[in-house]
Structure 1
Amino acid sequence: MTEALLTGANASTEVPLKRRLRRAERTRQVKALALVLPLLVFLLFTFAGPIAGMLWRAVDDREVRQALPQTVAALANWDGKDLPDEKAYAALAGDILAARASGTIAIAAKRLNYALNGFRTILTSTARNLKAVPEPGTAKETLGKINPAWRERTTWTTIKDAGGPVTGFYLLAALDLTRNVDGAIVAAPADQAIYRDVFGRTFLISLGVTALCLILGFPVAYLLATLPPGRSNLLMIFVLLPFWTSLLVRTCAWIVLLQSKGVVNDSLHWLGIIDEPLRLIYNRFGVCVAMTHVLLPFMILPLYSSMKAISPAYMRAAASLGAPPLTAFLRIYLPQTLPGIGAGGLLVFILALGYYITPALVGGAADQMISYFIALYTTETANWGLASALGAVLLLATILLALVYGKLVQGQQVTGGMKN
């Protein structure tokens, strides 16, 4: 009887104890969430929100639909094989008059001109010369007299394709693709196909800068990892020194150093090595040098972290077993630094993809990267759709690169760069 009472008492106290523990755990989680909530909100509005807005801008296409709603509706069932019927012409005439009165005709003309050169002139001239709604049955003839382009099928397919509310036009343009009059995806004309070359140039420059950072950063990281702590910390200050100066200042410093009458050319001339100044700036060489200087710390730091974790006993053991220094380095030390090489290379490459200021200041016309065109379409021509599409393609390439890197290291347990 007594044992039964004790068992019941223990059970009755155990349940409230579990409940209190669960309540305490929930309270702890709520407090932890409250601590990180401001950061999450900040990232949502300053990172995730702008990216989502950029992706939406890349497919948003409502300008023509808002300015020419009746025309878009009339062309919804048009097969595009012949010219549209009289109803579509009448709808266009009414929309043009309404858009002229509301001031939205310029917005539609600008959007349509992206797809077909000269469309701005077609639409604005028609708006100026169309005085009133044509008589029933005469809209096709009236618009054809104002501008013969309204008798061409390409003009109408352009309006239909831009009818929105979403479009693939900007994304196709970012890849040098377009749709022909029949709606098939084809390569853009040669005089408009520039972005593939720009993307290729961007990736090539980024890859070259990454390789230079690895070649220059590996010995520095090795030196930092093997020196005594006092000297290593002193040299680390010089590695971190570029972070204490503005990117613009560092880039302008390279202009001073590399220009025709700069320090480098004057020194080479004084030493008798050259007779004429070398062209070291406003070309690919200047871009790679300046970008390498800026991004070098991002390669050194991951390498240093990886090398610092490597025990010197590995190399001593290899030497004691008769391995030459080069063989020991290539087969013992270098494989253990691969995580640092991968992390540093990925970081430098991704950062280099989005560089704008440095190529714009020290590069020539043939050395501008994709970020230059994104800035151009954003700030000067206000073609936000194409700017967003170029940014979306660059973002996708960056994500794919990160996924490939993650796939390569996935499932591998690494201890100092060596598999267990």
Structure 2
Amino acid sequence: MTQNDMGQAPVLTTADGLPLKTSLMRTTRRHRIRAFLLVAPLLLFLVVAFVLPILDMLKRSIENPEVHNHMSRTVEALEGWDGESIPDEPVFAALVQDLVEGGEARTIGTVASRLNYEASGMRSLIMKTSRRAGRIEEGPYKAAVIDIDEDWADVDTWRLIERESDPFTLSYYLSAVDMRYDAEGNIVDQPDYLKIHNALFIRTFWMSAAITGLCLVLGYPIAFLLANTPLRYSNLLMILVLLPFWTSLLVRTTTWIAILQQQGVLNDLLVGIGLISTDNRLQMIYNKTGTMVAMTHILLPFMILPLYSVMKTIPPHYMHAARSLGARPFLAFRRVYFPLTIPGIGAGSILVFILSIGYYITPALVGGQSGIFITNFIAYHMQTSLNWGLAAAIASILLFVVIAFYLVYNRVIGVDNVKLG
């Protein structure tokens, strides 16, 4: 401790003469740096495995580089085009040069595929013209190109190229919600025979909500039994609850195929006891029923465990006190016990709902045409059609809707009330 010459209050110091306040600040800073270094590997993992892929997905959903990069001369020549009539000779000359170079560099295929997403037939038009453009040695280029295919005399073809020359686009998001640009660039609905995504979004959300409700109805009494049964019995029940985690997801799903199919175990049992006839076997697989049954079985433990962890912390004497005060069993349960389990209900519900929205293996195996989710179309566009932009747009919309549900859930119930035990 030291005292300054002006007679002011003494300054506390450490053994080496350093002011105590400065020493405490340095110690706190060292602790924070040490704590940050301890969590740095986890933070790096989250950034690399979670944040960056999401950002890349959001980028792909609006990125539109194909025409802009691989037909740069045509794009530049179209800058002064009025959009009302066929472009002039310089535009066709730039088109021929871009198609020839793109064919030699093998990049014109990406342009053709991108334009074909917007208008069927554009891929064949681009590829055919690219193969024959090398024969055009001198002008007039306009007549030569139109002679290859008359679609080049269609103003709508050039409007499409001009619109898709922008390096960023909303086309993928419009397609994801069953809308599109028309020839004039206005946003309109897709034809009825092409509308599929909105129906799949609605089906995904209501079936996920129904699966969550089934898991809650089935899981609540099981969790109550686990929490209020003597230990020697509850341990056995807990093993049975956890047993699905030790079995492959594919095995569990295919087992339901064997059980639910028309010649399966359940139909044979119903026929054997006389509830249905052989000719009226139930169709319980490759439809919505199969998807809901299989996914409820798979996701049920994710509802039971949060409920059990919360129920286990509720003192039994609360119910005894309610009964001693004259409440009937159901009233005591409704007014005392059930409100205390709401954090577990919230945790289990949001966990099951989000997991069910993202499932695609189980609906693909047992859902047929009527039981698939929108996630199955994300996989289709990623693996089969290779339209990664549309897949990214659908996934982004799914992400935004889940975040919106989460914010509403936080507003109504509160994330702080969600507990896992």
Q: Normalized against structure 1, the TM-score is what?
A: 0.92
The equivalent of 1:392 in structure 2 is 396
Q: 2:360 aligned to 333, 356, 370, which one?
A: 356
- Partner of 1:81: helix, strand, or coil? coil
The equivalent of 1:237 in structure 2 is 239
Q: 1:61 aligned to 59, 64, 68, which one?
A: 64
**1:25 corresponds to 2:36:** no
- Partner of 2:192: helix, strand, or coil? coil
- Partner of 2:19: helix, strand, or coil? helix
The equivalent of 2:86 in structure 1 is 83
The 1:415/1:54 distance shift into structure 2, 3 A limit, reads: closer
Once the two structures are superposed, the pairs formed by residues 306-385 of structure 1 within 5 Å of their partners are 306-385=310-389
Residues matched between the structures, number:
415
Deviation of 1:125 (Å): 1.5
Amino acid at match of 1:342: G
Q: Distance in 2 between matches of 1:298 and 1:252?
A: 20
Cα deviation digits, residues 134-181 of structure 1 (max 9, x gap): 645x33222222111111121112111211311111111111111112
Q: 2:105 aligned to 102, 107, 113, which one?
A: 102
Deviation of 1:339 (Å): 2.0
Is the 1:60–1:165 Cα contact (8 Å) retained in structure 2? yes
Amino acid at match of 1:81: E
Once the two structures are superposed, the pairs formed by residues 209-288 of structure 1 within 5 Å of their partners are 209-276=211-278, 277-288=281-292
Q: Return structure 1 stretches of 4+ with deviation > 6 angstroms.
A: 2-9, 411-416
- Partner of 2:180: helix, strand, or coil? strand
Deviation of 1:22 (Å): 1.9
Q: Distance in 2 between matches of 1:162 and 1:3?
A: 76
Identity %: 47
The equivalent of 2:133 in structure 1 is 130
Amino acid at match of 2:112: A
Deviation of 1:340 (Å): 1.7
Greater mean alpha carbon deviation, residues 366-375 or residues 260-269: 260-269
Is the 2:346–2:418 Cα contact (8 Å) retained in structure 1? no
Q: Distance in 2 between matches of 1:4 and 1:52?
A: 58
**1:169 corresponds to 2:177:** no
Is the 2:75–2:162 Cα contact (8 Å) retained in structure 1? yes
The equivalent of 2:293 in structure 1 is 289
Is the 1:60–1:164 Cα contact (8 Å) retained in structure 2? no
The equivalent of 2:208 in structure 1 is 206
Is the 1:93–1:134 Cα contact (8 Å) retained in structure 2? no
Greater mean alpha carbon deviation, residues 74-83 or residues 145-154: 74-83
Cα deviation digits, residues 292-317 of structure 1 (max 9, x gap): 00000111112122222333333333
Q: Distance in 2 between matches of 1:250 and 1:362?
A: 11
Is the 1:221–1:307 Cα contact (8 Å) retained in structure 2? yes
Q: Distance in 1 between matches of 2:312 and 2:158?
A: 66
Q: Distance in 2 between matches of 1:291 and 1:415?
A: 23
Is the 2:89–2:142 Cα contact (8 Å) retained in structure 1? yes
The equivalent of 1:146 in structure 2 is 148
Amino acid at match of 2:96: A
Please list every run of 5 or more consecutive structure 2 residues that lacks an aligned counterpart in the other structure: none
Deviation of 1:409 (Å): 2.8
The 1:92/1:17 distance shift into structure 2, 3 A limit, reads: same
The 1:32/1:82 distance shift into structure 2, 3 A limit, reads: same
Greater mean alpha carbon deviation, residues 359-368 or residues 127-136: 127-136
Please list every run of 5 or more consecutive structure 1 residues that lacks an aligned counterpart in the other structure: none
Amino acid at match of 1:210: T
Deviation of 1:283 (Å): 1.4
Deviation of 1:373 (Å): 1.0
Q: Distance in 2 between matches of 1:242 and 1:71?
A: 59
The 1:415/1:33 distance shift into structure 2, 3 A limit, reads: closer
Deviation of 1:233 (Å): 2.7
Q: Distance in 2 between matches of 1:11 and 1:210?
A: 61
Cα deviation digits, residues 42-79 of structure 1 (max 9, x gap): 11111111111111111111111222111112223434
Q: Distance in 1 between matches of 2:185 and 2:240?
A: 58
The equivalent of 2:44 in structure 1 is 41
Is the 2:310–2:419 Cα contact (8 Å) retained in structure 1? no
Is the 1:134–1:142 Cα contact (8 Å) retained in structure 2? no
Q: What CA RMSD, in Å, does the superposition of the two structures yield over aligned residues? A: 2.5
The 1:4/1:71 distance shift into structure 2, 3 A limit, reads: closer
Q: Normalized against structure 2, the TM-score is what?
A: 0.91
Deviation of 1:334 (Å): 2.1
Greater mean alpha carbon deviation, residues 178-187 or residues 332-341: 332-341
